[in-house]
A and B are shown apart, each in its own frame.
Chain A
Amino acid sequence: MAERAFKITPIIAAGAGATLLLLAMIIGPLGALLWRAEGAAALADSDWSAVRFTLLQATLSAAISVALAVPVARALARRQFFGRAVLITLLGAPFILPVMVAVMGLLAVFGRGGILSALLGWVSLPPIHIYGLHGVVLAHVFFNLPLATRLILQGWLMIPSERFRLAASLDITGRDFGRILERPMLRDVLPGAFMVVFMICLTSFAVALALGGGPKATTVELAIYQAFRFDFDLGRAALLAMVQFGMGAVAAIVMLWVAVPTMMGAGLGRTVERLDAPAPWWDGALLSVMTLFLVTPLVMILIDGLPNLLSLPKSVYLAAGRSLGVALLSMLIAISLALTIALMVVRLKRGAVVVESIGYLVLAASPLVIGAGLFIVLFPVVDPVALALPITALVNAMMSLPFALRTLVPAVRDIEVSYGPLADSLQMTGWVRLRLVLWPRLRRPLGFSTGLAAALSMGDLGVIALFSDPDSATLPLQMFRLMSAYRMDAAAGAAVLLLGLSLLLFWIFDRGGRADVDA
């Protein structure tokens, strides 16, 4: 035992170092904010209304997403049809879909000049207005309905099929069927699904930036940005950032209470064997409507953007280059941190607690909170604007860390359990152990995590908006600028480029991880 402890010390040290570095990156900025916020006056009326709006939109978005997800998940659970697997994969896609691309697609469908308004015009109805609360909620439902559906679908598939057979043999149908089989499951799954969506919407920035309608529809994250970029009032930005962190922390504590279903679950392939009644016709209709809701905005982007893809302003291509650099750097940081922490965590008795805590801490400290704090730390020392891109890469890496940990920790643990004793008996340590034992088996989860980290960073519009130099925008920011200037053709072209690059990054790394792996 003593020998083993001796061997793993460097790993523990590296992991502890990475964890401490990460904590410093969160606590340092928070401390700076706390110190800076003291000088600011109390929250104004408009700040309170930002708090109210943030909570209202997050509650509505979560409630609507979850409410719609229940029938959709039920339909998916009990129907077997051609393309079901594709549809379930599609439900995972919004996760790596850049927010600005989705917003642009939603505008093309639901905006004043969009297809829905045109349809309404044919029947002499006034066009719809997307800016404000309903626009923000619409975009959030677009992103989170698929996520909620996947989470709830998992709940359905976790009901043992024996129970369905038993229910059939006992002639339990209709309302009783729901009461006995489905409702207990929903009671377990729904609070967690609700909280996941609520948490994501709580830190919404880009959606509110693009679809918010002035002071009435401002989230706290957006207010932090405005205090920075409009007033350059650091004290107020710091105060708002503390408010945001407070809300995030409370939500995180609630999340610890309710069991959150795992996000990256596998095994959505089979359907539930329902013997009680034939699935009603409206299952199909429901699934069609949802698919239409998810796919139409993206199709519109492709139609508008593809013809402009090769004739974009030079600034867009330059921004794309910068974004690729940021994404790759961010991916490197995220994976180095995640791997070091994962290697340490599996050797700890209560490692799971560390992972969970890191995850929730990062979720509570939103990108703009960290960004604002970092700015306050750096401002007196160096020019933060000159560091815009590296800081963006770093914050993006921190944001994708929880996902990387959730994928890597179980994988590393499996390997250590199965091959660790053998490797120990062969006295394989350090580099040799990494190369011969871990690497071949870790390639696949590693590929998935790197792809995810790169794609998330590629599509992110957050911290960069705080720091950006007019000359060094990333692709999502440049796209937003084109939209603001009403250069919709160029913006649509940039959207296709952004979407393509995000998916490509994910695909390359995920694929790279899968290629010739000895299963």
Chain B
Amino acid sequence: MKYPLLAAGLCVIASSAIAETPVLTVYTYDSFVSDWGPGPAIEAAFEETCGCDLKFVGAGDGAALLARVRLEGEHIKADVVLGLDTNLTQAARETELFAPHGVSAELNLPMAWGDDLFLPYDWGYFAFVYKRDGLTDVPSNFKELAASDLKIVIQDPRSSTPGLGLLMWVKAAYGDEAPAIWNDLSDNIVTVTKGWSESYGMFLEGEADMALSYTTSPAYHLIAEEDAGKVAAPFSEGHYLQVEVAGKIASTDQPELADAFLNFMVSEKFQTIIPTTNWMYPAVTPAGGLPEGFETLVTPEKSLMVESDKAIAVREEALAEWLSALSK
């Protein structure tokens, strides 16, 4: 009789010991925490050294992530928010919830980086991805795409960073002509999904000919599935650059752990995991270079981007145009 009691007692002690392990809560987008995303590997790698419990919480897609941060406001339970991009950093800055990251790292980005609040962990170019079989007339710009009868799936710019990226892409490429482009594109759009995972899933299930994704998405099919049949279509207007960032919440009760995580984020270990799980270019190229297969990817001749301090105004205008064109 004594032994079960003793064992039960030990269990209680053991579980209270676990409860005392500090928990670092990181809000991120859904595909980051999915079984096939970077989340599980990164969690294991960080927990090896931090003596903590790293808890990823998926909060929708990237733009919904920012809304979540604003919705929770000063009650926010996250210590770090990972998965915003340069189109959103200014709006995130205005919440006054973030603290400087204080990390200096040798970044390999196609642009100079000077943001004191947000630290990049990967980057990529938006592109429409299609299946090589069955698509002969591949459009080489938005006008050709709009004139074709190809079916595309895109994401809602209010909830998803790729969706927002597409909005900014069209706006950066066409300026005042953007509403006309959206008018012409509207009959090509099968549906607008909340997040990237939904629309890419629909594309793979055959519900659309093309999906808005990244120039790096074909690498997933090539490396993970040994399938060279998925390709990104190069567009002559240039491709929009996305830099994905993370930031530390100022009111965190785990400031040291949060700092440790941000340092870990630009370290060799984290950055080696990124290319073959998040399927993006790493912010700091690992010592071994990029994985084999990445050299086959389309590299845009021209890179487009709206500077982050102008992003709020451009987003607002472009969003109104987009909503009005697509709700007709």
Cβ-defined partner of B323 (8 Å) among A46, A213, A379: A46
Task: Note all chain A residues with C-beta closer than 8 A to B189.
Answer: 214
A131 and B191 contacting across the interface, CB-CB below 8 Å: yes
In the assembly, what is the distance between CA of A50 and CA of B328, in Å? 10
Stretch at the interface among B70-78, B132-140, B233-241, B253-261: B70-78
Task: Note all chain B residues with C-beta closer than 8 A to A54.
Answer: none
In the assembly, what is the distance between CA of A214 and CA of B328, in Å? 11
Task: Note all chain A residues with C-beta closer than 8 A to B75.
Answer: 383, 385-386
Q: A232-B70, A470-B58, A486-B201 are in contact. Are A129 and B190 (CB under 8 A)?
A: yes
Within 8 A of B (CB), among A23-81: 44-46, 49-50
Task: Note all chain A residues with C-beta closer than 8 A to B193.
Answer: 484
Main secondary structure of the interface of A (DSSP, over half): loop
B327 and A218 contacting across the interface, CB-CB below 8 Å: yes
Minimal beta-carbon separation of A158 from chain B (angstroms): 44
In the assembly, what is the distance between CA of A226 and CA of B70, in Å? 14
Give B contacts to A, CB under 8 Å: 27, 30, 34, 57-60, 63-64, 66-68, 70-73, 75, 156, 158-159, 186, 189-195, 197-198, 201-202, 205-207, 320, 322-324, 326-328
Q: A46-B324, A215-B192, A470-B57 are in contact. Are A229 and B159 (CB under 8 A)?
A: yes
Q: A214-B191, A231-B67, A385-B75 are in contact. Are A485 and B197 (CB under 8 A)?
A: yes
Q: A113-B205, A232-B70, A386-B75 are in contact. Are A215 and B58 (CB under 8 A)?
A: no
Cβ-defined partner of B191 (8 Å) among A45, A132, A228, A470: A132
B63 and A44 contacting across the interface, CB-CB below 8 Å: no
A165 contacts partner chain B, Cβ-Cβ < 8 Å: no
* CB<8 Å pairs between A and B, sample of 24: A45-B323, A46-B323, A46-B327, A112-B206, A112-B207, A129-B190, A132-B191, A213-B192, A215-B322, A215-B323, A216-B186, A226-B156, A226-B159, A228-B67, A229-B68, A230-B159, A232-B67, A232-B70, A383-B72, A470-B58, A470-B59, A484-B198, A486-B201, A486-B205
Q: A45-B324, A215-B326 are in contact. Are A385 and B59 (CB under 8 A)?
A: no
Task: Note all chain B residues with C-beta closer than 8 A to A230.
Answer: 63-64, 67, 156, 158-159
Minimal beta-carbon separation of B225 from chain A (angstroms): 16
Minimal beta-carbon separation of B252 from chain A (angstroms): 16
In the assembly, what is the distance between CA of A113 and CA of B324, in Å? 31
In the assembly, what is the distance between CA of A28 and CA of B327, in Å? 33
Give A contacts to B, CB under 8 Å: 44-46, 49-50, 112-113, 129, 131-132, 213-216, 218, 226, 228-232, 379, 383, 385-386, 470-471, 484-486
Minimal beta-carbon separation of B319 from chain A (angstroms): 9
In the assembly, what is the distance between CA of A111 and CA of B75, in Å? 41
Q: A45-B324, A485-B201 are in contact. Are A131 and B190 (CB under 8 A)?
A: yes
Task: Note all chain A residues with C-beta closer than 8 A to B198.
Answer: 484-486
In the assembly, what is the distance between CA of A129 and CA of B153, in Å? 13
Minimal beta-carbon separation of B81 from chain A (angstroms): 13
Task: Note all chain B residues with C-beta closer than 8 A to A484.
Answer: 193-195, 197-198
In the assembly, what is the distance between CA of A472 and CA of B191, in Å? 28
Q: A49-B327, A229-B64, A232-B67 are in contact. Are A214 and B201 (CB under 8 A)?
A: no
In the assembly, what is the distance between CA of A129 and CA of B207, in Å? 9
Q: A50-B327, A484-B197, A485-B197 are in contact. Are A229 and B205 (CB under 8 A)?
A: no
Minimal beta-carbon separation of B9 from chain A (angstroms): 27
Cβ-defined partner of A213 (8 Å) among B34, B63, B191: B191
Minimal beta-carbon separation of A128 from chain B (angstroms): 11
Q: Which residue of the partner chain A has the closest CB to B320?
A: A44
Task: Note all chain B residues with C-beta closer than 8 A to A49.
Answer: 327-328
Known pairs A229-B60, A230-B64, A230-B67 / 5 extra A-B pairs, C-beta < 8 Å: A44-B323, A45-B324, A132-B191, A232-B70, A485-B197
Minimal beta-carbon separation of A216 from chain B (angstroms): 6
Minimal beta-carbon separation of B99 from chain A (angstroms): 20
Q: Which residue of the partner chain B has the closest CB to A135?
A: B191
In the assembly, what is the distance between CA of A383 and CA of B75, in Å? 6
Minimal beta-carbon separation of B183 from chain A (angstroms): 13
Q: Which residue of the partner chain A has the closest CB to B328?
A: A49
In the assembly, what is the distance between CA of A213 and CA of B207, in Å? 13
> Which residue, B63, B192, B322, has most C-beta atoms of chain A within 10 A?
B192
Task: Note all chain B residues with C-beta closer than 8 A to A485.
Answer: 30, 34, 197-198, 201
> Which residue, A112, A214, A226, has most C-beta atoms of chain B within 10 A?
A214
Task: Note all chain B residues with C-beta closer than 8 A to A229.
Answer: 60, 64, 67-68, 71, 159
Task: Note all chain A residues with C-beta closer than 8 A to B328.
Answer: 49, 216
Q: A112-B206, A230-B63 are in contact. Are A215 and B327 (CB under 8 A)?
A: yes
> Which residue, B191, B320, B326, has most C-beta atoms of chain A within 10 A?
B191
B156 and A214 contacting across the interface, CB-CB below 8 Å: yes
In the assembly, what is the distance between CA of A360 and CA of B63, in Å? 37
In the assembly, what is the distance between CA of A485 and CA of B189, in Å? 20
What 10 pairs between A and B have smallest CB-CB spacing?
Answer: A214-B192, A230-B158, A486-B201, A46-B323, A49-B327, A383-B75, A232-B70, A215-B327, A45-B324, A215-B326
> Which residue, A45, A132, A218, A230, has most C-beta atoms of chain B within 10 A?
A230
Cβ-defined partner of B158 (8 Å) among A213, A226, A486: A226
Task: Note all chain A residues with C-beta closer than 8 A to B191.
Answer: 131-132, 213-214
In the assembly, what is the distance between CA of A163 and CA of B205, in Å? 58
> Which residue, A132, A218, A229, A379, has most C-beta atoms of chain B within 10 A?
A229
> Which residue, A50, A215, A226, has most C-beta atoms of chain B within 10 A?
A215
In the assembly, what is the distance between CA of A44 and CA of B197, in Å? 29
Q: Which residue of the partner chain B has the closest CB to A227?
A: B158
A379 and B73 contacting across the interface, CB-CB below 8 Å: yes
In the assembly, what is the distance between CA of A213 and CA of B192, in Å? 6
Minimal beta-carbon separation of A211 from chain B (angstroms): 10
In the assembly, what is the distance between CA of A112 and CA of B207, in Å? 7
Minimal beta-carbon separation of B26 from chain A (angstroms): 11
A231 and B158 contacting across the interface, CB-CB below 8 Å: yes
Task: Note all chain A residues with C-beta closer than 8 A to B320.
Answer: 44-46
Task: Note all chain A residues with C-beta closer than 8 A to B27.
Answer: 470
Cβ-defined partner of B205 (8 Å) among A112, A214, A215, A383: A112
Task: Note all chain B residues with C-beta closer than 8 A to A385.
Answer: 71-72, 75
In the assembly, what is the distance between CA of A230 and CA of B195, in Å? 11
In the assembly, what is the distance between CA of A218 and CA of B320, in Å? 15
> Which residue, B71, B72, B190, B197, has most C-beta atoms of chain A within 10 A?
B71
Q: Which residue of the partner chain B has the closest CB to A385?
A: B72
A45 and B327 contacting across the interface, CB-CB below 8 Å: yes
Q: Which residue of the partner chain A has the closest CB to B31?
A: A485
B197 and A216 contacting across the interface, CB-CB below 8 Å: no
In the assembly, what is the distance between CA of A397 and CA of B71, in Å? 25
Q: Which residue of the partner chain B has the closest CB to A466?
A: B71
Task: Note all chain A residues with C-beta closer than 8 A to B159.
Answer: 226, 229-230
In the assembly, what is the distance between CA of A385 and CA of B63, in Å? 19
In the assembly, what is the distance between CA of A485 and CA of B34, in Å? 9
Q: Which residue of the partner chain A has the closest CB to B28?
A: A470
Minimal beta-carbon separation of A107 from chain B (angstroms): 11
Q: Which residue of the partner chain B has the closest CB to A226?
A: B158
Task: Note all chain A residues with C-beta closer than 8 A to B322.
Answer: 215
Task: Note all chain B residues with C-beta closer than 8 A to A132.
Answer: 191
Minimal beta-carbon separation of B321 from chain A (angstroms): 10
Minimal beta-carbon separation of B63 from chain A (angstroms): 7
In the assembly, what is the distance between CA of A484 and CA of B34, in Å? 12
Task: Note all chain A residues with C-beta closer than 8 A to B66.
Answer: 232
B326 and A216 contacting across the interface, CB-CB below 8 Å: yes
Task: Note all chain A residues with C-beta closer than 8 A to B67.
Answer: 228-232
